[in-house]
Chain A
Amino acid sequence: MITLWFSLLVLCWMLFFVLEGFDFGVGILGPALGRDDHERGAIVRTVGPFWDGNEVWLVAAIGVTFAAFPDWYAALLSALYLPMVAILLLLAIRGVALEFRGKGDGPRWRQLCDAALTTSSAGIVLLWGAILGVLTHGLAVGPDGQVTGTGLSRSLGPLASWPALAGAILALFAALLLGAAFLSLRTTGPVHVRAQRATLAIASTGTAVLAVLGIVTGSWLLLAAAALSLIITLIARTGREMLAFAGTATGVAGAVVAVFTHHGDVVLRSTLNPAWSLTMTGAAATGSALKLITVVGVVVLPGVLVYQAFSYWVFRKRVSSERVPS
């Protein structure tokens, strides 16, 4: 039962990082791939109907974490207090910039929104990447299941580490690639051409960087990422956009699963004493709560997937970035 809930939790986080991953990537790439107001508008429209539904996967993920593993939720969020605040504020800026962009008046307003969208998207990706990196390493969990320490050193200290840095860089790379592949898939016109080129450039650069890092550090994870990146480079060269996007998404999904299952049944590793680590069974809620969310999760989530897929199908038409002569 706990394994089932853990799987559902990983599924929610995975869908959040994949789906919002391309939203963030599109946000970051906006100014680079859209040369003027019109093109940037087209870029924003590719995620317009989807970003909000995608973000709900974060609500689901954090809700399921709280519901199924309250100790994990409590320890992680209170320990990483300031990074979480920063993420929430950046998410607020991102959502508002995206949603308000076309409602205001004048190109200056839209420029401001574009700038806010790009910086906030980049910030969110770097922070989540760093936090995923920290998760692979663990936190200073004490004997009572809460993270020891206090203040800024506890809040920000874990982010100033190699795993956090590696996580941030990998996440930025993944979001850029997802964003570029998604834009290739969803546009026509000049933005489409540039997005295709960007996909190729990001994938090939990523292959080289990841391969070098993988060889230097001897990390199999990085080497696997490099190999995947190489495959995506080759796919992108043939112009098969759907396959390139699907490949990238699979890679990101795999990485998220790898992070969450990195320590076996330990969900939050203690860097102080392995015995203090939060385990799946130790951090889990009790039977009745788990049973309830199992029923709702198994009944409701497939429905959610169906109607979200329906929404992607309704808005399947590519967004044109060409100027229509009027």
Chain B
Amino acid sequence: MTSLRTVLPAGAASRSILRAAATGLYLSITVLAFFAVAAIVPGLLATHSPTALDLSHSLEGPSWQHWFGTDESGRDLYSRVVYGTRESLAIGIGATAVSISIALVLGSIAALARRFVAGAVNRVIEILFAFPTLLLALLLVAVLGPSAMTQIVAVGIGTAPGYARIIRGQILSAKDSGYVEAAVALGHSRRRILGAHIVPNAVRPLVAIITLSIGQSIVWASSLAFLGLGVAPPASEWGALLDAGRTYITQAWWLIVIPGLVIVTLALAATTLGKHIQNILEKGEK
């Protein structure tokens, strides 16, 4: 069979790809907007109270009345997911902020400091890399107690070394670029070179990284909550929902599949948006 691609002129193919990409972008923006509303005014979207017991309707599957079904105490899962958005997003954004801040400091020092200091910081990044995030999280939970804040700190520290590496690489490549060499040759001051050339060029990819990181942090935090290291009940942070649902996995699939899909949807939407922003920024660079 003749493939579609050979029939369509080259321009049409690229247009259809662009259209698909744009649909992806709009879809992800719509999804993120929905979650933003859920985080800010959950009451607007929820159909029930997230904690109200309805013991006569426990473990009922998705229906018109309960879109995502009910849990063991008859609580409405859809409303719990909606009310859990704020905490889940706070963890995603909070952990990203912690992680990027640490990464910026460590990455810049590793790239710009004197050889001895840079070497030492590089070793610190490597040690952090080698330290399992889960172990670190356990340590923090033991010290601080399980809470959203602990999750933010644990995931933030755990994911920081990866970003620190990226930032270090970006700064180094900007430092060795032609325009910086030209600026040095023109006799610009160190401060001006750093402020006008290195930092903006090194930080631009961060915008994309941040959106990617939010989704990834939620996935990380969910895995902590799944292990029972998350927020205190009856909070309905998505990872905690997954954790609570696993007892019922063989009888009430919706309790684990739906929160899982919600996490995946958000992570995909944030990642798609991040990719688009990255593409736009890269085009801008050209």
Chains A and B come from one and the same complex: no
**A residues with CB within 8 A of B:** none
